[in-house]
A and B are shown apart, each in its own frame.
Chain A
Amino acid sequence: MVTLKIDDQETTVAEGMPIIEAARGLGIEIPHFCYHPKLSVSGSCKMCLVEVEGLAKLVTACTTVVSRNMVVRTRSEKVKEAQRAVLAMLLMNHPLDCPVCDKGGECPLQDYTYRYGPGKSEFSDEKWHFKKPVDLSPLIVLDRERCILCTRCVRFQEEVAVHPEIEVTERGRGSFIEVARPEGFTSNFSGNTIELCPVGALTSRPFRFKARPWELTRSPSVCPRCGCGCNIWLDVREDKIMRVLARENSPVDGGWLCDRGRFGYRFVNHASRLKTPLIRKGEGFIPCTWEEAISRVIGGFKKVREVYGSESIGGLASPKLTNEELYLFQKFFQEVAGTNSSGYTLNGDLMIESLRPAACSGLRRFSFQDIDEADSIFLIDGDPSKDLPILDLRIKKAVKRGARLFIAGSEEIELSGFASASPIPVGTELNSVPEKGGKGGFDRGFSDEIRDSKRSVILLGCKIDPSAVESLCTLLKEFHSNREEGWISLGVLMPEANTQGAQDMLLKKGTDLFSDIQKINLSPFLTKCLFVARQEIPDIANLRNHLDFLAVYDIFPSETTRVADVVFPAVAFSELDGTYTNSERRVQRLFKTTRSPGDAKPLWEVMTLMAKATGTDWDFHSSQDVMREISEKIPMYRYISYEGIGMKGSYADGTVAGPRYYR
Chain B
Amino acid sequence: MLTELLQALGITGKYLFTRSVTVRYPEERRESYPRTRWRHKLMRHEDGLERCIGCSLCEAACPARCIRVVAEENTDEARYSPGERYAKEYEINMIRCIFCGLCQEACPVEAIVLREDFELADYERDSFRYTKDRLLEPGR
Residues of A within 8 A of B (CB): 98-100, 104, 133, 208-210, 212, 214-215
Using known A-B contacts A100-B83, A215-B59, determine if residue A208 contacts B73 with beta carbons closer than 8 Å.
yes
6 closest A-B pairs by CB: A99-B55, A209-B71, A100-B85, A212-B56, A99-B108, A100-B84
Q: Which residues of B contact A133 (CB under 8 A)?
A: 84
In-complex Cβ contact of A215 among B53, B54, B56, B72 (8 A): B56
Residues of B within 8 A of A (CB): 53-57, 59-60, 71-73, 83-85, 108-109
Bound-state CA distance A214–B58 (Å) is 13
Using known A-B contacts A212-B56, A214-B60, determine if residue A99 contacts B109 with beta carbons closer than 8 Å.
yes
Bound-state CA distance A100–B55 (Å) is 5
Q: Which residues of B contact A208 (CB under 8 A)?
A: 73
Q: Which residues of B contact A99 (CB under 8 A)?
A: 53, 55, 57, 108-109
Considering only CB atoms, which chain B residue lies closest to A143 in the complex?
B84
Using known A-B contacts A99-B53, A99-B108, A99-B109, determine if residue A209 contacts B85 with beta carbons closer than 8 Å.
yes
- 20 inter-chain pairs at a CB distance below 8 angstroms, sorted by A residue, are A98-B55, A99-B57, A99-B108, A99-B109, A100-B53, A100-B55, A100-B84, A104-B55, A133-B84, A208-B73, A209-B54, A209-B71, A209-B72, A209-B73, A210-B71, A212-B59, A212-B60, A214-B60, A215-B56, A215-B59
Bound-state CA distance A406–B56 (Å) is 54
Q: Which residues of A contact B109 (CB under 8 A)?
A: 99
Which of A209, A210, A214, A215 has most B Cβ within 10 Å?
A209
Bound-state CA distance A100–B83 (Å) is 9
In the complex, how many angstroms separate the beta carbon of A54 from the nearest chain B beta carbon?
46
In the complex, how many angstroms separate the beta carbon of A345 from the nearest chain B beta carbon?
41
In the complex, how many angstroms separate the beta carbon of A224 from the nearest chain B beta carbon?
27
Bound-state CA distance A506–B55 (Å) is 53
In the complex, how many angstroms separate the beta carbon of A300 from the nearest chain B beta carbon?
45
Bound-state CA distance A208–B85 (Å) is 10
Q: Which residues of A contact B57 (CB under 8 A)?
A: 99
Considering only CB atoms, which chain A residue lies closest to B84 in the complex?
A100
Q: Which residues of B contact A100 (CB under 8 A)?
A: 53-55, 83-85
Q: Which residues of B contact A214 (CB under 8 A)?
A: 60
Considering only CB atoms, which chain A residue lies closest to B72 in the complex?
A209
Bound-state CA distance A133–B59 (Å) is 25
In the complex, how many angstroms separate the beta carbon of B82 from the nearest chain A beta carbon?
10
Which of B54, B57, B84 has most A Cβ within 10 Å?
B84
In the complex, how many angstroms separate the beta carbon of A465 from the nearest chain B beta carbon?
52
Bound-state CA distance A133–B108 (Å) is 21
In the complex, how many angstroms separate the beta carbon of B131 from the nearest chain A beta carbon?
16
Besides A99-B55, A100-B53, A215-B56, 6 more A-B contacts (Cβ < 8 Å) are A133-B84, A208-B73, A209-B54, A209-B71, A212-B56, A212-B59
Q: Which residues of B contact A215 (CB under 8 A)?
A: 56, 59
Bound-state CA distance A214–B71 (Å) is 14
Considering only CB atoms, which chain A residue lies closest to B71 in the complex?
A209
Bound-state CA distance A209–B86 (Å) is 9
Q: Which residues of B contact A210 (CB under 8 A)?
A: 71
Bound-state CA distance A190–B25 (Å) is 65
In the complex, how many angstroms separate the beta carbon of A215 from the nearest chain B beta carbon?
7
In the complex, how many angstroms separate the beta carbon of A132 from the nearest chain B beta carbon?
8
Bound-state CA distance A104–B85 (Å) is 14
Bound-state CA distance A210–B69 (Å) is 10
Which of B71, B83, B109 has most A Cβ within 10 Å?
B71
In the complex, how many angstroms separate the beta carbon of B29 from the nearest chain A beta carbon?
37
Bound-state CA distance A98–B60 (Å) is 14
In the complex, how many angstroms separate the beta carbon of A106 from the nearest chain B beta carbon?
13
Considering only CB atoms, which chain B residue lies closest to A210 in the complex?
B71
In the complex, how many angstroms separate the beta carbon of B108 from the nearest chain A beta carbon?
5
Q: Which residues of B contact A98 (CB under 8 A)?
A: 55
Bound-state CA distance A539–B59 (Å) is 52
In the complex, how many angstroms separate the beta carbon of B116 from the nearest chain A beta carbon?
27
Bound-state CA distance A133–B76 (Å) is 13
Bound-state CA distance A209–B84 (Å) is 10
Considering only CB atoms, which chain A residue lies closest to B85 in the complex?
A100
Bound-state CA distance A212–B55 (Å) is 8
In the complex, how many angstroms separate the beta carbon of A207 from the nearest chain B beta carbon?
11
Which of A99, A104, A208, A215 has most B Cβ within 10 Å?
A99
Bound-state CA distance A214–B106 (Å) is 16
Bound-state CA distance A424–B57 (Å) is 60
Considering only CB atoms, which chain A residue lies closest to B55 in the complex?
A99
Q: Which residues of B contact A209 (CB under 8 A)?
A: 54, 71-73, 85
Considering only CB atoms, which chain A residue lies closest to B106 in the complex?
A99
Q: Which residues of A contact B84 (CB under 8 A)?
A: 100, 133
Q: Which residues of A contact B73 (CB under 8 A)?
A: 208-209
Bound-state CA distance A133–B53 (Å) is 16
Q: Which residues of A contact B53 (CB under 8 A)?
A: 99-100
Bound-state CA distance A104–B57 (Å) is 10
Considering only CB atoms, which chain B residue lies closest to A237 in the complex?
B70
Bound-state CA distance A100–B59 (Å) is 14
In the complex, how many angstroms separate the beta carbon of A468 from the nearest chain B beta carbon?
53
In the complex, how many angstroms separate the beta carbon of B103 from the nearest chain A beta carbon?
13
Bound-state CA distance A261–B84 (Å) is 28
Bound-state CA distance A133–B83 (Å) is 11
In the complex, how many angstroms separate the beta carbon of B42 from the nearest chain A beta carbon?
15
Bound-state CA distance A258–B93 (Å) is 41
Which of A100, A104, A215 has most B Cβ within 10 Å?
A100
Considering only CB atoms, which chain A residue lies closest to B83 in the complex?
A100
In the complex, how many angstroms separate the beta carbon of B83 from the nearest chain A beta carbon?
6
Bound-state CA distance A104–B53 (Å) is 14
Bound-state CA distance A208–B70 (Å) is 11
Bound-state CA distance A104–B56 (Å) is 11
Q: Which residues of A contact B85 (CB under 8 A)?
A: 100, 209
In the complex, how many angstroms separate the beta carbon of B75 from the nearest chain A beta carbon?
12
In the complex, how many angstroms separate the beta carbon of B79 from the nearest chain A beta carbon?
14
Bound-state CA distance A208–B73 (Å) is 8
Considering only CB atoms, which chain B residue lies closest to A209 in the complex?
B71
Q: Which residues of A contact B71 (CB under 8 A)?
A: 209-210
Considering only CB atoms, which chain A residue lies closest to B109 in the complex?
A99
Q: Which residues of B contact A212 (CB under 8 A)?
A: 56, 59-60
In the complex, how many angstroms separate the beta carbon of A101 from the nearest chain B beta carbon?
9
Q: Which residues of A contact B56 (CB under 8 A)?
A: 212, 215
In the complex, how many angstroms separate the beta carbon of A570 from the nearest chain B beta carbon?
28
In the complex, how many angstroms separate the beta carbon of B110 from the nearest chain A beta carbon?
12
Bound-state CA distance A498–B73 (Å) is 38
In the complex, how many angstroms separate the beta carbon of A308 from the nearest chain B beta carbon?
55
In the complex, how many angstroms separate the beta carbon of A140 from the nearest chain B beta carbon?
15
Bound-state CA distance A553–B85 (Å) is 41
In the complex, how many angstroms separate the beta carbon of B5 from the nearest chain A beta carbon?
68
Bound-state CA distance A209–B83 (Å) is 13
In the complex, how many angstroms separate the beta carbon of B126 from the nearest chain A beta carbon?
18
Bound-state CA distance A209–B53 (Å) is 11
Considering only CB atoms, which chain A residue lies closest to B60 in the complex?
A214
Which of B59, B83, B85 has most A Cβ within 10 Å?
B85
In the complex, how many angstroms separate the beta carbon of B123 from the nearest chain A beta carbon?
28
Considering only CB atoms, which chain B residue lies closest to A214 in the complex?
B60
Considering only CB atoms, which chain B residue lies closest to A105 in the complex?
B60
